Amino acid sequence: MRHSVRIAVGPVQFRIGSDWAGPVAALDRLYAGYPRDDARPADATVRLFAARPWRRWLRPSVHIGGDFIVPGALPLPLSMGLLAAEMAMNLQVALGWRRHLLLHASAVARDDRALIMSGESGSGKSTLAALLGEGDWRLMGDEFTLIDPAGGDAFAFPRAVSLKNEAIAEVAARVDAARLGPLLAGTPKGDIRHLIPRADAIAAMHAPARPALLLFPRFGRAAGIESMGEGEAFVRLTEASTNYVALGEAGFAALTRLVRETPAFGITYPDSAAGIALVEELWAEAAR
């Protein structure tokens, strides 16, 4: 393809091709601090392309493709090319990765032990992970957490964090502006701005962490903690995994082990400060 870039996020080496220079330049900037090994063959291929040649210039719209394609997915305007790239990278990992059990969850680590947060879009799992990652936690990722089926360890996928709507201002107030991507206003997912993880989080992206606490956050209610049984955590995580079925017995073994060995809680919180306080409180118990 006309423009391309190679990016390694956690264990996944991406090859991203694009019909336009813009998305590749934006990725280059966001991922400049990530380790580069241009000789390493790619695990996943992403393509950002115009459906018709003239749509490269005339009302340019970015279609998402690569190793895996979702038929009928709507294209995005070129101004949202970075979001298209992010969605395409997620898609390839979600559908193609088989080395680990994939959880649609954010994670942070402290002392090589991981806090994993799973929830739907809007639950606040990305924002909590981003804010904790600015404190004394290592950000492991805001989208996927990888569980090693053999040993049970969690592995990081620290892509650039996708901050949405109110979370943008909240995080922007605390970090150096150089660590923020361009504001993508009015996307189908709302306003989006990417946060580049801290350099120490990127440097440690291959380091495993032992799962120590599972949280299912829900933003927008009074602060509360509810203990969760193994069965419920298991069912919720099968739904949060994109490759649980494909991994068969290995996926079942990895997930049962995770919910048996890791205490799980549902938490509700009215604002980020309260959410972080709950996390620290539960962590103090779990990590004892």
Is residue 45 within the footprint of other proteins (CB under 8 A)?
yes
Stretch that binds other proteins, among 107-115, 121-129, 167-175, 241-249 (CB under 8 A): 241-249
Three-state DSSP class for residue 89? helix
Which residues, including other chains, have CB under 8 Å from residue 33's CB and lie 6 or more apart? 196, 199, 202
Which residue type sits at 227?
Answer: S
CB atoms within 10 A of CB 79: 15
Rg (CA), the chain: 19
Which residue type sits at 247?
Answer: L
**Contact status, residue 71 vs residue 91, Cβ threshold 8 Å:** no
Can you say whether residue 79 is alpha, beta or left, with left for phi > 0 and alpha for psi between -120 and 50 degrees? alpha
Least Cβ distance, residue 65 to other proteins (angstroms) = 8
Footprint of other proteins on 65-94 (CB under 8 A): 67
Nearer to other proteins, 34 or 283 (CB): 34
Q: Which of 25, 42, 172, 253 binds other proteins (CB under 8 A)?
A: 42
Stretch that binds other proteins, among 38-46, 201-209, 234-242, 273-281 (CB under 8 A): 38-46
Q: Which of 28, 36, 57, 98 binds other proteins (CB under 8 A)?
A: 98
Q: Which of 59, 173, 249, 284 binds other proteins (CB under 8 A)?
A: 249
Stretch that binds other proteins, among 126-134, 167-175, 189-197, 246-254 (CB under 8 A): 246-254
Is residue 99 within the footprint of other proteins (CB under 8 A)?
yes
Q: Which of 71, 72, 231, 248 binds other proteins (CB under 8 A)?
A: 248
Q: Which of 9, 47, 115, 161 binds other proteins (CB under 8 A)?
A: 47
Stretch that binds other proteins, among 105-113, 159-167, 211-219, 248-256 (CB under 8 A): 248-256
Least Cβ distance, residue 8 to other proteins (angstroms) = 10
**Contact status, residue 102 vs residue 122, Cβ threshold 8 Å:** no
What sign does the dihedral 145-131-213-271 (CA atoms) show? negative
Per-residue contact track with other proteins, 193 to 232, x per CB under 8 A?
A: ----------------------------------------
**Contact status, residue 270 vs residue 220, Cβ threshold 8 Å:** yes
Is residue 13 within the footprint of other proteins (CB under 8 A)?
yes
Q: What is the DSSP letter of 56?
A: G
Count of residues of this chain found to bind other proteins when the rule CB under 8 A is applied: 21
**Contact status, residue 55 vs residue 44, Cβ threshold 8 Å:** no
Is residue 43 within the footprint of other proteins (CB under 8 A)?
yes
Distance, in Å, from the CA atom of 36 to the CA atom of 136, rounded to the nearest integer, reads 26
Distance, in Å, from the CA atom of 174 to the CA atom of 29, rounded to the nearest integer, reads 20
Q: Map tokens 């964090």 to a residue.
A: 161
**Residues at the interface with other proteins (CB under 8 A):** 1, 13, 15, 17, 38-43, 45, 47, 67, 97-99, 246-250
